[in-house]
Amino acid sequence: MESFFKKAALLPALLCSQMAIAQSSGLWSEWKEDVSAISWETGSIVVGVTALGAYSWDWGSSQKFKFNPEGWFGDNTSSGGADKLGHAFSSYAINNVLTDRLLRKGRSVEQAALSAVLTTQAIMLYVEVFDGFANDHGFAREDVAMNLLGSGLSYVRAVNPKVHDLVDFRLEYQSSGYKGFRPLSDYSGQKYVMALKLSGVDSLRDTPLRFLELQTGYHARGFSKVERDAGMLRSRQHFVGVGVNLGEILFGRRFERESELRNAGRMFFEHIQIPNTAIRHDHSLK
């Protein structure tokens, strides 16, 4: 464990690729100022993922760095792709939080969104590199691609108000019963939801339909060893459905400037899908 924390001190070197991108496009000074402006938020995220890595993700269990091709959503993967969507969602959520904090610091939408992308990708690269020093993981290029996808969606959503009003990407979690309450690693308890909010459709904005949304998503079951030992078969499910837009019910139309509490509550429901608030039809993938 001591050697792991010595490696953690190499974090600045892991950010070099991100810095090079920023420097080459003349954005380094702006990014540096933005990271300083949200240093508490960024630092808290780094501390949080480091603690999770050291005590939950087995970081430091291997003295040798390794790559680990993990595949995507196939039946022969370790979690049916739920871990890949986890990377996309984590990057998306972190990106959204950092963008929001920078906007509240007075940054323009474009600057806030871009600085958030660079910061989020630096953090997620840090995570992936230290996954390379874990016996049960390894550096996975697929994870890097999904990290970029999550931040990309966040960026598009931030700079396009119409997309922001229409689309949410959320995590729904109910314990599978096999790992306790572990939302970040109990893949069988996770469902990833893409919601099209009817409140974002101009013609429906002032009708009762604004409280509804169309949903599609994905979840996988039976991929962990403990589930297989219990006789559960592997399954990958795609679903479509109609849900209730709790954010719209509780907070209504978004104001240009909202209180911290109201903004936090709205963001919570933009990222977390409450179980049993939608009617869905599942389709098994072969």
Same domain, 134 and 247: no
Residue 4 confidence (pLDDT): 44
Same domain, 155 and 170: no
Picking from 10-24, 153-167, 198-212, which range would have the lowest pLDDT averaged per residue?
10-24
Same domain, 197 and 280: yes
Same domain, 131 and 186: no
Domain boundary among 159, 179, 196: 159
pLDDT at 180 over 90: no
Same domain, 146 and 173: no
**Does this model's pTM top 0.85?**
yes
DSSP 233: P
Residue 285 confidence (pLDDT): 86
Q: For residue 130, what are the domain limits?
A: 1-159
Q: 173: part of which helix (H) or strand (E)?
A: strand 167-173
Same domain, 176 and 67: no
Q: What is the mean pLDDT of the chain?
A: 87
Same domain, 247 and 182: yes
Domain boundary among 132, 159, 186: 159
Higher pLDDT, 200 or 183: 200
How far does CA 75 lie from the centroid of its chain?
Answer: 23
What b/e string do you get for 98-136 counting C-beta neighbours within 10 Å, with b at 16 or more?
bbbbbbeeebeeebbbbbbbbbbbbbbbbbbbbbbbbee
Same domain, 152 and 53: yes
Residue 182 confidence (pLDDT): 77
Domain boundary among 159, 194, 210: 159
pLDDT at 266 over 80: yes
Residue 98 confidence (pLDDT): 97
Structurally, how many domains does the chain consist of? 2
Write the pLDDT tens digit of every residue in 231-252.
788 889 999 999 999 999 999 8
**Longest Cα separation, the chain:** 60
Write the pLDDT tens digit of every residue in 24-41.
556 788 899 999 999 999
* CB proximity list for 250: less than 8 A, separation 6 or greater: 265, 269
Same domain, 124 and 237: no
Name the pLDDT band for 215 (thresholds 50, 70, 90).
very high
* CB proximity list for 1: less than 8 A, separation 6 or greater: 54, 60
Same domain, 23 and 140: yes
